[in-house]
Structure 1
């Protein structure tokens, strides 16, 4: 396990960067031109970034980006 000490300004910056990346991934996942294999990798990346986002964002913000459950889960 690793620890990280950051101040409030740095926390807000990390939260902002993660939020933008999550939004971009959500937008790309909606694109029908992207291959299924690429989308699967994008979903894995989304889940990792969401786990990081949960550590810096408040509960209401996390609910906005909560990953959708797929049919096979």
Structure 2
């Protein structure tokens, strides 16, 4: 486990960057031109970013960015 001491401004910047990256991935996942294997890698990256985001954001904000569950066939 690692510890991190950051200022409030740094905290806000990290939170902003995480939000922006997750929104970009969400938009790209909706693009039908992207190969499914690439989308799979993007979904894994989104999960990592979301777990990091949970450490910074409130529960209500986390609900907005919660990853969608995959449909089972």
TM-score band (shorter)?
over 0.9
Which residue does 2:31 correspond to in 1?
31
Q: CA deviation at 1:33?
A: 0.2
Q: How does 1:3-22 map to 2 (within 5 A)?
A: 3-22=3-22
Which stretch has the larger CA shift, 52-61 or 39-48? 52-61
CA RMSD of aligned residues (A): 0.8
Deviation at 1:71, TM superposition (A): 2.0
Give the ranges of 4+ consecutive aligned residues of structure 1 lying more than 6 Å apart after TM superposition.
none
> Which deviations, in whole Å up to 9, do the C-alpha atoms of 1:15-61 show, x marking residues without a partner?
00000000000000000000000000000000000001000111111
Name the structure 2 match of 1:42. 42
What is the total number of aligned residue pairs between the two structures? 72
Uncovered stretches (5+) of structure 2, i.e. residues with no partner: none
Give the unaligned 5+ runs of structure 1: none
Relative to the length of structure 1, the TM-score reads: 0.94
